Chain A
Amino acid sequence: LAKTTQPISMDSYEGQEVNITCSHNNIATNDYITWYQQFPSQGPRFIIQGYKTKVTNEVASLFIPADRKSSTLSLPRVSLSDTAVYYCLVGDNNQGGKLIFGQGTELSVKP
């Protein structure tokens, strides 16, 4: 499983766009990139998953450059309720399905 590196914490203000970058230099050909969000005392929630280029859903966008050695989760116009820990995971969907979580990025959105 490829190791991921992301900032430990980030601060933002309401209404701003937040970009969280994750480095995964050793990503393998079969690996997908998945982001989860976790609020205190709640289970992680799937946000978005991608393999290459750009993926967008109603919650976020995921940008993946051609070399796939990093990825950026973009949250448009954040609100206070987006304060949470965001996890970047990289894995081969054939590796038994287990997800290995790193430290995550603690995003704090201020008024």
Chain B
Amino acid sequence: DSGVTQTPKHLITATGQRVTLRCSPRSGDLSVYWYQQSLDQGLQFLIQYYNGEERAKGNILERFSAQQFPDLHSELNLSSLELGDSALYFCASSVGQLGSYGYTFGSGTRLTVV
């Protein structure tokens, strides 16, 4: 157990639907990062939050949004889902906003869009 908790572990939904992925960071970590991993794209950085504020943005689609709550858990919202959104979504956390002590990843949420 890495200390980063992601729910749900698996999600199957239809095209056009909206889903929410949840991440609880490791105790004491203030930064949360979201990554998408698909077979053809590898690990893609989506977005980072630090202590409730957005800190960095990567290849995140406009259909996707995220937020970090006061208790530091984070949610990634995916809407108008397409078949190509099927992937593993990982959340990671680190102590500071700069990730200088290494990231701790969760076990991921496998999203299947049918």
* 0/1 string, A71-111, CB within 8 A of B gives 1: 00000000000000001000001101111111110000000
> Which residue in B42, B58, B104, B110 is a CB contact (below 8 Å) of A41?
B110
Inter-chain CB contacts under 8 Å: number: 69
Query: Are A98 and B33 closer than 8 Å at their CB atoms?
Result: yes
A43 to B6: give the CA distance in the assembly, Å: 11
Residues of B within 8 A of A102 (CB): 42
Is the CB of A45 closer than 8 A to any CB of chain B?
yes
In the complex, what's the smallest C-beta–C-beta distance from A98 to chain B, in angstroms? 5
A32 to B98: give the CA distance in the assembly, Å: 12
Is the CB of A29 closer than 8 A to any CB of chain B?
no
Q: What interface size band does chain A fall in?
A: 20 to 34
Query: Are A93 and B100 closer than 8 Å at their CB atoms?
Result: yes
Query: Are B33 and A99 closer than 8 Å at their CB atoms?
Result: yes
Given contacts A41-B88, A43-B90, A96-B56, contact A103 B42 (CB under 8 A): yes
Q: Which 6 A-B pairs have the closest CB atoms?
A: A43-B105, A96-B56, A46-B102, A97-B99, A101-B43, A93-B100
Residues of B in contact with A (beta carbons under 8 Å apart): 2, 4, 31, 33, 35, 42-45, 48, 50, 55-56, 58, 88, 90, 92, 94, 96-100, 102-108, 110
Residues of A in contact with B (beta carbons under 8 Å apart): 32, 34, 36, 41-46, 49, 87, 93-94, 96-104
